[in-house]
């Protein structure tokens, strides 16, 4: 069964229901302090530890890219199609910190939401922050960068989602390596739910390494020009977490580069 990779635990907290901690990437290793400061935890204003429900990537001082379904589940679907002022929702992002319950980094309110109009085919949204971050953003892919995330490329995933299917884990930011697979591989698994023009397929054929619930919107990066990280995808959905022959599906950033560029 296809599952979106939003944390319903964190979402409940974001909607002012009972909060509880979430976990981290399946099969991941700890991200060192300062290694990926541009990875964002999206949470309600109570605290990142209690309310984290999605991830994201800082691509400009005031712009975080995440999954469109993170917005859809916060808002009425019709409202989610529009630019929305969300200061009253108390949604914030945390940047520059590897522990949800740690100290340091930045916690910045989200001022506006912009969901791609063709979501969920393009499962991408932009969060405009109320103030600029001082953290260096990650570069994001354009159509001309397709060779960097072609099948066979090694990609890095990161997030605070569950460490196992249906499970939970550490509050530390974790990362893992996965292989970009052919569109045909994901089409075999997901059928018409997979769209090769707007999605990237990546995983470990043997299973054991994957994104999971709570990782939605978080990064899939590859080595770009000069070896620097290049944001190629945003965590979208999968069949379970870490199952063999069940790659994860990521919204293709290059396919919506013009949309992101309107804000970034």
Residue from 22, 114, 116, 123 carrying the catalytic annotation = 123
In a shared domain, residues 132 and 151: no
Final residue before a domain boundary, out of 115, 137, 159: 137
**3-class SS letters over 91-126:** EEEEECCCECCCCCCEEEEEEEEEECCCCCCCCCEE
pLDDT given at position 12? 46
In a shared domain, residues 45 and 131: yes
**Tokens 């990362």 label which residue?**
175
Decide: helix, strand or coil at residue 10. Answer: helix
Average pLDDT over residues 221-248: 92
Q: When comparing pLDDT for 10 and 54, which is higher?
A: 54
Q: Which residues constitute the domain of residue 74?
A: 2-22+37-137
Residue from 7, 57, 69, 145 carrying the catalytic annotation = 69
* Alpha-carbon gap, residue 263 to 64, rounded angstroms: 10
pLDDT in tens, 16-68: 332 333 334 667 788 999 999 999 999 987 788 888 889 999 999 999 999 99
From 113, 108, 127, 123, select the one nearest 76 (Cα to Cα).
Answer: 113
Residue 191 tokens, joined: 């059928």
> Is 262 within the bounds of a domain?
no
Residue from 168, 216, 236, 246 carrying the catalytic annotation = 216
* Alpha-carbon gap, residue 32 to 115, rounded angstroms: 31
Final residue before a domain boundary, out of 137, 156, 186: 137
DSSP type of residue 44 = E
Q: When comparing pLDDT for 119 and 184, which is higher?
A: 184
* Alpha-carbon gap, residue 253 to 217, rounded angstroms: 11
**pLDDT over threshold 70, residue 97:** yes
Ranking 155-159, 188-192, 224-228, 242-246 by mean pLDDT, the lowest is 242-246
114 is catalytic: no
Residue 248 tokens, joined: 């994860």
């Amino acid at each position: 069964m296809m599952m979106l990779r939003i944390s319903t635990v964190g979402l409940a907290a974001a909607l002012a229901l009972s909060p509880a901690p979430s976990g981290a990437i399946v099969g991941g290793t700890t991200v060192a302090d300062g290694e990926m400061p541009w990875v964002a935890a999206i949470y309600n204003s109570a605290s990142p530890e209690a309310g984290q429900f999605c991830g994201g990537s800082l691509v400009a001082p005031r712009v975080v890219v995440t999954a469109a379904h993170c917005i859809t589940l916060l808002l009425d679907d019709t409202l989610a199609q529009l630019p929305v002022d969300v200061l009253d929702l108390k949604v914030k992002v945390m940047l520059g910190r590897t522990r949800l319950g740690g100290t340091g980094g930045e916690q910045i309110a989200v001022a506006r939401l912009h969901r791609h109009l063709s979501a969920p085919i393009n499962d991408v949204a932009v969060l405009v922050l109320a103030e600029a971050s001082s953290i260096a953003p990650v570069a994001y892919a354009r159509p001309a960068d397709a060779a960097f995330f072609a099948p066979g490329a090694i990609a890095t995933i990161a997030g605070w989602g569950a460490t196992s299917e249906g499970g939970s884990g550490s509050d530390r930011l974790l990362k893992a390596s996965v292989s970009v697979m052919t569109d045909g591989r994901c089409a075999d698994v997901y059928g018409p739910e997979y769209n090769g023009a707007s999605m990237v397929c990546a995983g470990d054929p043997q299973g054991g390494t994957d994104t999971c619930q709570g990782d939605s919107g978080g990064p899939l990066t590859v080595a770009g020009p000069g070896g620097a990280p290049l944001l190629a995808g945003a965590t979208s959905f999968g069949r379970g977490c870490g199952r063999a022959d069940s790659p994860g599906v990521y919204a293709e950033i290059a396919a919506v580069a013009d949309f992101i560029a309107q804000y970034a």
